[in-house]
Structure formats: C-alpha cells, structure tokens
Amino acid sequence: MQEVFINGRDFETAEEVHEFLKDTLDFPDYYGKNLSALYDVLTDLNEDTRIVLNLSDAEDDGMIEFLERMAEVATDAAAENDYLEIIIE
C-alpha cells in the first residue's frame, strides 16, 4: 500500500502540494495540478493508496482553505475508488 502524509505546515503553496503528490504518487506528466485534475487522477488509481491530511498545523489562511478544498475533493474521489483511503486529521 502506498501511504502519503501531507502536513499543512510543510507546504507554502498549493503548487507545492500538487507537485509533491505528482512526484510521490507518480501522476502522469499531463497532470494539470488543479483540484479537478487531482480528482481525475485519484479516481484512476489502481493500487491501494492511503492519503493522510493533517490540516491542523497549516498556518496560512490560503493554505488552510486549499487543504480543506483538497480534502473534500479527495474524499469524493475515495467514494468513487475502492483503492483510495483518505484520512483527515
């Protein structure tokens, strides 16, 4: 199982989070680095994957808002893909 941990304090921009996910989960080169594209690639995963989102340590309001929206998108994707598990802390 792939496990990915995203701690809000480790990133300053949404772009950094998208790049981290692309590299860590080996998203295709055409990954658009936006929430719509994230939903698409998460619903296409075919290997057991757990993503743990720690929102509590984010300090920037913009990052908190982005991570909350990303958590919603990832949760929606998990409802469509049995290989994906999302944990929000």
- According to DSSP, residue 36 is labeled H
Superfamily of domain 2-88 in the CATH hierarchy: Barstar-like (3.30.370.10)
Pairing type for strands 84-88 and 49-54 reads: parallel
Residue 47 has a pLDDT of 96
For the segment 25-80, what is each residue's pLDDT rounded down to a tens digit? 999 999 999 999 999 999 999 999 999 999 877 778 888 899 999 999 999 999 99
Question: CA separation (Å) from 61 to 12, 55, 65, 78, 86?
Answer: 11, 11, 6, 26, 22
- Contact indicator for 11, 60 with CB cutoff of 8 Å: no
1 — pLDDT class (breaks 50, 70, 90): very high
- Phi, psi at 23, each rounded to 5°: -70, -45
Domain ranges of the chain: 2-88
